[in-house]
Amino acid sequence: MVRVIPCLDVLAEGVVKGVNFENLRRVGDPVELAARYDGEGADELVFLDVGATVQGRRPLLAVLEEVSRRVFLPVTAGGGVRGLGEVEAYLAAGADKVAVNTAAVARPALLTEAARRFGSQCVVLAMDVRSRPGGWEVFVEAGRRGTGLDALEWAQEAEGRGAGELLVTSMDRDGTGAGFDTGLYGALARASRLPLIASGGAGEAHHFAEAARAGATGVLAAGLFHGGRLTIPALKERLQREGIEVRPWA
């Protein structure tokens, strides 16, 4: 079944949203939004501390703990992971899975070490990517620095190192409402056997169906849900009408 996943990008204990990773503005309270999505029938939540890596601080674990107390959904948390200590702290604060981006690029062995200690099922490789001639490049530090890494090759390496899932955001599409980069997700689905969460660009219900048909096993959105322009029940009903299997909703 395709998973419908709201994303909480958290900065200074508020949920924020921007366009192409820039001009972030506060759009809500993370605990209130998480509770709303739980009630609407979301399948999972993604909780990303978008300032931790750039600011060089520890993640906002107290906020995650409060979210985890209020909802009964699997939560993937990330941001500010430097090593196994942060992975363990996120799990202790209520996360079921931990997303790693910058630290994994800096030291790929971290993926293997985390998988061995905590299990591949809770190790998520997060990738922020931009298109380039012939493919897509991986960016780190909240999208501020290009790495030169090819996204497809990095996904394959991460799979070999023990990652259990991919969370891939198209920086080109982020916040635009122009639709998911189906070329990107189709290529990743062919390159890797890992479950794949598509992120960046959702603007209409049919965009989620397109991502699922391209190979995404999870479809993620933030601003579209936060602002109420599309509800999770309405989206799941649309996906079901288009022949895409989803879990029951509220």
Give the pairing type, strands 123-132 and 135-140: antiparallel
Query: 174 catalytic, yes or no?
Result: no
Which one-letter amino acid corresponds to residue 185? Y
Annotated active-site residue in 38, 43, 49, 128: 128
Distance CA 147, CA 51 (A): 19
Beta-bridge partners for 159: none
User: Which residue in 51, 29, 35, 41 sits closest to 5, CA to CA?
Assistant: 41
Annotated active-site residue in 9, 43, 49, 174: 9
What are the E-state strand segments in the chain?
3-11, 14-19, 22-28, 45-49, 75-78, 97-100, 123-132, 135-140, 145-150, 165-170, 196-199, 218-221
CB 64 within 8 A of CB 15: no
Burial status of residue 148 (CB atoms within 10 A of its CB: 0-12, 13-18, 19 or more): exposed
Query: 9 catalytic, yes or no?
Result: yes
Catalytic residues: 9, 128
